[in-house]
Structures are given as C-alpha cells and as structure tokens.
Amino acid sequence: VYVEKRDCFSCHHQALTVMALGRAKLSGYKVQADGVSTQSQFTLEYFHDRMKRLIKGEGVPGGPYSAGYALTGLSAAGEPGGDTIKALVEYLLKTQHKDGGWRIHTHRPPLEDSHLTATALAIRGLVGFADAADGNESMDRALAWLKKAEPKSTEDRVFKLLGLHWGNGGAAKASAAKALMEMQRDDHGWGQLPNMKSDAYATGQALFTLREIGFLKVDSPHYRLGSKWLIDHQDADGSWHVKTRSKP
C-alpha cells in the first residue's frame, strides 16, 4: 500500500520490512518473494532519480542514516550492486566526518535519534557494497569512532554493538555486548533510557542483537527470560504498543 500512495523512501516501510522478511525466510517462514522485490525496486528507483546529487554527498532527506538503512535493506534483499548502489556508497564516503563517524540529521526517537545508529548503518552499507580501495580506510576510521563513542540509550548500545560486529571490530565487541546485557532489568526487559520502564522496542532490539552476534543463545537464561517478558506484554492482536517520545 505504501509504495502505491507515497513516492519517498522510508526506513521502516522499505529497509526494515525487507530485513524482517529476510530474517523470517532464514528462519523457515514462507515469504512472498514479490513483496521483497517490490520494496527493493521502490528503493532503487527513488535513489536512482537522485544519483547526480548522491555522488556529491547531497540528496538524502534523512542523511547518512537513511542511506545506510537503504543499503542495508538492499543487501538483505540480495541486490548485487549497480550504479544506484554505487552512488549511495559514494554519498556515505562523502558525508563521513573527519572524526570517522556519521551524524543523524533528524531526531524522532527511539528509531531515529542516534549518531551511533547512523554510523553503524553506514558501516553495514560499506561492508555490503563498497570496493576495498574505497571502503577500508573509511571503515577503519568509523570503527575507531564507534569504539570511543559513549552510548546513552539502549538504541546507542545496540547499534554500537552491531556496528562493531558488522565491521569486525575485534575485542571491543565483547565488552559492548557485556555492557548491553548488563542493562537487562530485574523484570528481564530493557528500557529505552535509564529512567524509562522496560518496553518491547528496547527489549526486542537488545535480544535480537545479542543473539545475532552470538553472545546469547536462545536457551540461555537471559534470552529465555527476555523472550518471556515480550510474550507477557504482547497485546491480544499480536502487536506490541510502544508509546512515542518523539516531538514532531
């Protein structure tokens, strides 16, 4: 429905949807292939129209965060590359800061509010599609920035860990994983911020990430109890409600 009524790329409609469908397929669920291809084609067409601006480091309303999510989604869909993807990679190379990180341009927490998220997604985009000649030096600077970055939220901690995992950040990954796991509450969930109650957004992303990098197994006590928190707080319609804290 979104692709029929809107003409702008959306991280949660295109990229995250394709990533979730790809993960579901790997887990043995039946996934409609045309749903993935429709979202990928929409993404490619949207950025194809902006190629001349992309190679100058311009033309992405959501900044490096959106470009990183676009490349991450296209990678999850199995896209092989091409001129549009090369332009997105060039955009990331052009917009990297001298300190090695990328910056978030919009602030709509919890999904869209973290420099660490923007940097981790850029790393994932470069890992998937950048040539070694272009990507290695950029990656080294990004990992150095990420290792020094001080997380303030669960979103920060999650994407610091994912960025180190995607970029092969070495020993720093283990300490980041331990720090994230230690944020699990007595109720076995995670909160977005230290002063917020546990919720499905923070709990789900923490469990996914710790499992994804191999730090927790599904039968470990931390994972089982965290999963139980999610099940116990699921709404009758199958969804989880997370109260917004974004201020448009």
Whether residue 162 sits in one domain with residue 105 = no
Give the pLDDT confidence score for residue 6 in this predicted structure: 58
Domain termination site, one of 115, 149, 183:
149
| CB of 109 closer than 8 Å to CB of 205 | no
How many domains does the chain divide into?
Answer: 2
Domain termination site, one of 149, 170, 185:
149
For the chain, list residues with pLDDT below 50.
1-2
Whether residue 40 sits in one domain with residue 15 = yes
Give the pLDDT confidence score for residue 32 in this predicted structure: 86
- Tokens standing for residue 95: 């917009």
Give the CA count within 13 Å in the CB-facing half-sphere of 125.
30
Whether residue 20 sits in one domain with residue 92 = yes
Whether residue 137 sits in one domain with residue 17 = yes
Whether residue 229 sits in one domain with residue 137 = no
Whether residue 128 sits in one domain with residue 55 = yes
Whether residue 169 sits in one domain with residue 87 = no
Q: Which of 16, 132, 129 is nearest to 83 (CA)?
A: 129
Rounded-to-integer distance, Cα 208 and Cα 47, Å: 29
Q: What is the 3-state secondary structure (H, E, C) of 37-93?
A: HHHHHHHHHHHHCCHHHHCCCCCCCCHHHHHHHHHHHHHHCCCCCCHHHHHHHHHHH
Residue tagged 């190679």 (tokens): 55
Whether residue 43 sits in one domain with residue 20 = yes
Domain termination site, one of 133, 149, 165:
149
Domain enclosing residue 105, as ranges = 1-149
Whether residue 79 sits in one domain with residue 33 = yes
Q: What is the pLDDT of residues 137-182, one digit of tens each?
A: 999 999 999 999 999 999 999 999 999 999 999 999 999 999 999 9
Mean confidence (pLDDT) of the chain:
93
Whether residue 112 sits in one domain with residue 223 = no
- Tokens standing for residue 90: 């060039």
Give the pLDDT confidence score for residue 1 in this predicted structure: 44
